[in-house]
Chain A
Amino acid sequence: DAGVTQSPTHLIKTRGQQVTLRCSPKSGHDTVSWYQQALGQGPQFIFQYYEEEERQRGNFPDRFSGHQFPNYSSELNVNALLLGDSALYLCASSFAEGHFSGPDNEQFFGPGTRLTVL
């Protein structure tokens, strides 16, 4: 049973460029959440997707956008990259509460994509 997978593993971009990161959820999961983990910090919630729609959003600018596909995989797009966007981007998958609510609705994390902006 494959866990959460993310691609690419590492990415180097320059300021002003755009980047797309990809995530495939754990088998059977239908909800994908994205987090940003800056060096020395805990992960910060960016947004969550369910049924191909953004369901919740954290305190991130509109430069951060996402998409979820019918097969539940997801993309995170960041436009007009800034130096401060350099971080590890984590994807987490889970069951939507409507399908499997309660204490077992655990988020499983992928290995992350390390983005460096020069």
Chain B
Amino acid sequence: AQSVSQHNHHVILSEAASLELGCNYSYGGTVNLFWYVQYPGQHLQLLLKYFSGDPLVKGIKGFEAEFIKSKFSFNLRKPSVQWSDTAEYFCAVNLNYGGSQGNLIFGKGTKLSVKP
């Protein structure tokens, strides 16, 4: 069965530190990749997505992610975090059935705490 692994359960950083959250998936076929964020008390929001093309994807709020097909990875990065980035981050995959989308398979999430 397809699965998504997020390596870090809880990451604590100081403001201005760089961030990298790991995400690996298990599926050999074509996939679409997503990072969602859930701020405290708010609903899931899409940060960025990868469907095809340039493997370096830029999203909202200065986040970016790199798809490395050979490593089945889609790590999320931000050069300098802010206190307002405190949230839970979820990596998700869905299987690309020739352009149509199946359901989203989520990782367990990584909680990010940024100290002011």
Contacts and interface: CB of A to CB of B under 8 A. Distances in A.
B106 A43 contact: yes
Contact of A97 (B36, B46, B100): B100
A103 B104 contact: no
A58 interface: yes
Contacts, number: 57
A107 B51 contact: no
Interface string B74-113: 0000000000000000101000000111111111110000
B51 A103 contact: yes
Given A42-B109, A43-B90, A97-B99, A107 B104 contact: yes
A40 interface: yes
Interface centre among A35, A41, A43, A94 (most CB of B within 10 A): A43
A112 B43 CA distance: 7
A44 B106 contact: yes
Contacts of A4: 43
B52 interface: yes
Measured as residues with beta carbon below 8 angstroms from the partner, the interface class of chain B is: 20 to 34
A42 B49 contact: no
B16 interface: no
A41 B108 contact: yes
Interface in A39-85: 40-45, 48, 56, 58
A65 B52 CA distance: 34
A111 B43 contact: yes
B44 interface: yes
Given A40-B108, A42-B109, A43-B90, A97 B101 contact: yes
A76 B45 CA distance: 22
Q: Which 9 A-B pairs have the closest CB atoms?
A: A42-B106, A97-B100, A45-B103, A103-B51, A109-B44, A111-B43, A43-B106, A101-B99, A42-B108
Interface of B: 4, 32, 36, 42-46, 49, 51-52, 90, 92, 99-109
11 contacts: A33-B103, A33-B104, A41-B108, A42-B4, A42-B108, A42-B109, A56-B102, A101-B99, A103-B49, A109-B36, A110-B43
